[in-house]
Structure 1
Amino acid sequence: MNEKMNEETGTAVQFLENLLQTARLDVRVQNEQPGDEGLLLELHGPDNGLVLSNSARVLYALEHLVNQVVHHHSGGYSKVTLDCNGYRSTRMLELQLMARKAAEKVRTTGVSFSLQPMPAAERRVIHLTLAEEAGIRTESAGMGLNRHVVIFPGQ
């Protein structure tokens, strides 16, 4: 890791550990490793369930806060991704399967299909999964917490 990445990692881990302690969540940062687009921090502990409850909203909120702090303090633009108990890889497989099933339904019926609202990172997985699929196209629609992917027949 270079010096800039070390600084960003230190900032991210220190902020996250302080935040988890303040929130009285018994979760620790156990692994720090370079990820696909920046830094991946793995969280583990007895309160994993709380972090992952309600479609992992706490995990996504923590990730957002950590990224804001890292970008503010270090001026860095590396993305910090948080994972908890292997949630990200499991969720990615679920999203890919969901996307393919929905695409098949759209191809079969010729009617567009809207997925449930989801965070930007999850919408991106849907778009990338279906980017090369014949006979369909995808768009994000809605605003804020209601932003979702719509799968359309065509092109």
Structure 2
Amino acid sequence: MSDTTAPEADSANHSVVDEGDLAADYIEELLDIADLDGDLEIDVRNGRTYLTVTAGEGANLGRLSQQDVVRALQDLTRLAVQNQTGEFSRLILDIGGSRDARQQELTALVDGAVARLEAGAAKAALPPMSSYERKIVHDLVAERGFTSESHGEGADRHTVISRA
């Protein structure tokens, strides 16, 4: 396991670093139980902990890197961290490149929505997604010169894209 975060005196940063260590311990234990090898890397960006699991030699993380599995493991890891710290966790888990794959899917969704707008649609709604994924979508939409808003509640919260 490698930690790419330099220790700082800021107590908020320390709690994020501790969150990463706790999450890494939890995932490492899970990998041991599943008899899978993986290399763990902790990164802290913008006050959020990112835990990346990459395949070690001979390891196959294919089943674990499926989007629904990653989301479930992320939720379980967040709960494990919260149980230890007493604080809500915003940890982001990436297994075997799952976040990059999802980024590509989101980019394709935005490209399709923008194409519908350019073809004359007034608005284009995307399917429900997590707040993290909606943030990515909002950024992609802004890069393309359009506007976006989140609509709905809970599991039905989705992004609607329109012309700027």
Give secondary structure in 1 for the equivalent of 2:64: helix
Aligned to 1:122: 133
Residues 1:38 and 1:104: Cα distance change in structure 2 (over 3 Å): same
For structure 1, the 5+ residue unaligned runs are: none
Equivalent-residue separation in structure 2 for 1:10 and 1:4 (angstroms): 10
Partner residue of 1:149 out of 138, 141, 159: 159
Instruction: Using structure 1 for the length normalisation, give the TM-score.
Output: 0.73
Q: 5 Å matches for 1:126-141?
A: 126-131=137-142, 134=145, 136-141=147-152
Q: Secondary structure at the match of 1:48?
A: coil
Q: Distance in 1 between matches of 2:37 and 2:46?
A: 23
Residue 29 of structure 1 contacts residue 44 of structure 1 at CA under 8 Å; is this kept in 2? yes
Counterpart amino acid of 2:52? E
2:41 equivalent in structure 1: 31
- Name the stretch that deviates more: 84-93 or 133-142: 133-142
Q: Deviations over 1:63-119 (max 9, x none)?
A: 122122223312445632211223323432442343133123124222432323333
Q: How has the CA–CA distance of structure 1 residues 47 and 96 changed in structure 2, closer, same or farther, with 3 Å as cutoff?
A: same
Query: How far did 1:59 drift?
Result: 0.8
1:40 matched to 2:50? The reply is yes
After TM superposition, list the pairs within 5 Å mapping 1:95-106 onto structure 2: 95-106=106-117
Aligned to 2:3: none
Q: Does 1:14 align with 2:14?
A: no
Aligned twin of 1:51: 64
Provide the alpha-carbon RMSD of the alignment.
2.9
Matched, 1:68 2:75: no
Are 2:106 and 1:87 equivalent residues in the alignment?
no
SS in structure 2 of the partner of residue 51 of structure 1: coil
Decide whether the 8 Å contact of 1:141 with 1:150 is kept in 2: no
Secondary structure of 1:79 counterpart: coil
Decide which structure has greater helix share. 1
**Aligned counterpart, 1:108:** 119
Note the C-alpha offset of 1:123: 1.9
Q: TM-score, normalised by structure 2?
A: 0.70
